[in-house]
Amino acid sequence: MIDEQTRKKMTRADRALVATYHEAKLAELIEHVRAGLARYDAGELSAFDVDEIIHHFTLAARELWKFCGATGSQTRMAAAALKEWGKEGPDWWEIGQPKRPR
């Protein structure tokens, strides 16, 4: 059985791991928006295209938040998943792909 002090250290470590991951993946998602804005500035995309990119970002960031924004035992599960994935893991941009009507 784990003593209280060890459990608290593990919880802090799990939170730090998940927070670091969340920030890094959020930065990757922001890069999609930045690239879209650069293409808009270059005249390659319309304002509607950029709006679609921002909507996509919102959906992807929401999915990422659902994974990382949990507390308690869910944080432990997220940290365990991150440790298992290593450098791999979900493509949050792909997961946030807007659903198209058929």
Query: Per-residue confidence at 87, pLDDT binned at 50, 70, 90?
Result: confident
Q: Average pLDDT for residues 48-72, to the nearest whole number?
A: 92
pLDDT at 70: 67
Q: State the Cα–Cα distance between residues 67 and 92, nearest whole angstrom.
A: 10
Q: State the Cα–Cα distance between residues 59 and 36, nearest whole angstrom.
A: 16
Sequence ranges of the domains in the chain: 7-86
Percentage of the chain surpassing pLDDT 90? 74
pLDDT at 101: 62
**What tens digit of pLDDT does each residue of 10-56 get?**
989 999 999 999 999 999 999 999 999 999 999 999 999 999 999 99
